[in-house]
Chain A
Amino acid sequence: MKTYQYDVVVVGGGPAGLAAALSAKKQGASVAILERNGELGGILEQCIHAGFGLHVFKEELTGPEYAERFIDQVADQDIDVFLNTMVLDITPDRHVSAICGEGVLHFEAGAVILAMGCRERTRGAIRIPGDRGAGVFTAGIAQRYINLENMKPGNRAVILGSGDIGLIMARRLTLEGIEVEGVYEIMPYPNGLYRNIINCLDDFGIPLHLSTTITRINGKDRVHSVEVAEVDANRRPIPGTEREIECDTVLLSVGLIPENELSRKAGVPLDPVTKGPVVDENLETKVPGIFACGNVLHVHDVVDYVTAEAQEAGEKAALYAKNALKPAAKQLAVKAEGAVRYTVPGFVDPGDGTDKQIKFRVGAPIESGVTVVSSGGQEIYREKKAHRFLPSNMEIHTVACDALKGCTAPLTVRVEIQE
Chain B
Amino acid sequence: MKKVKMSCTTCPNSCELLATVDNDQVVAVEGNLCKRGVDFAENEWRCPVRTLTSTMILDTGAKAVLVPVRSAKPIPKAVMQEAMAAIQAKHLHHPVKIGEALIDNVAGTGVAIVAAKTVRM
A residues with a Cβ closer than 8 A to B are 45, 48-50, 54, 60, 62-65, 68, 146-150, 175-176, 193-195, 198-199, 203, 301-302, 393
Rounded to whole angstroms, the CA-CA distance of A217 and B104 in the bound complex is 45
The answer to whether B55 touches A175, judged by C-beta atoms less than 8 angstroms apart, is no
Tally B residues with Cβ within 8 Å of A. Answer: 26
Residues of B whose CB lies within 8 Å of any CB of A are 7-12, 14, 50-55, 57, 64, 66, 68, 70, 77, 80-81, 84, 98, 116-118
Q: Is the CB of B50 within 8 A of A65?
A: no
Cβ B70 vs Cβ A54 within 8 A: no
Q: Which 9 A-B pairs have the closest CB atoms?
A: A195-B9, A194-B14, A64-B117, A48-B68, A50-B51, A62-B116, A64-B68, A64-B116, A65-B116
A193 touches B12 (CB 8 A): yes
> Which A residues are in CB contact (< 8 Å) with B84?
175-176
> Given that A60-B51, A62-B53, A65-B98 are known contacts, is A194 also in contact with B7, CB under 8 Å in the complex?
yes
A48 touching B14 by the CB < 8 A rule? no
Cβ–Cβ contact B66 & A148, under 8 A: yes
In the complex, are the beta carbons of A147 and B55 less than 8 A apart? yes
Residues from chain A with a CB closer than 8 A to the CB of B50 are 199, 203
Question: Is the Cβ of A150 less than 8 Å from the Cβ of B57?
Answer: yes
Partner of B12, one of A48, A68, A198, A302: A302
- Which residue in A68, A194, A302 is a CB contact (below 8 Å) of B98? A68
Q: Which of B7, B12, B52, B77 is within 8 Å of A301, CB to CB?
A: B12
Residues of A within 8 A of B11 (CB): 54, 195
Quick check: A48 and B77 within 8 Å, CB to CB?
no
Which residues on B sit within 8 Å (CB–CB) of A195?
Answer: 7-12, 14
Name A48's contact: one of B7, B8, B53, B118 (CB within 8 Å): B53
A–B pairs, 16, beta carbons within 8 Å: A48-B68, A49-B53, A50-B70, A54-B10, A63-B68, A64-B68, A64-B117, A65-B116, A68-B118, A147-B68, A175-B54, A193-B12, A194-B14, A195-B7, A198-B7, A203-B50
User: When the two chains form their complex, are residues B57 and A48 in contact, meaning their CB atoms are under 8 A apart?
Assistant: no
How far apart sit A150 and B51, CA to CA, in the bound complex (Å)? 21
Smallest CB separation, B54 vs chain A (Å): 6
**Known pairs A48-B70, A65-B98 / 11 extra A-B pairs, C-beta < 8 Å:** A54-B10, A54-B12, A64-B68, A148-B66, A175-B52, A175-B84, A176-B54, A195-B7, A203-B50, A302-B12, A393-B12
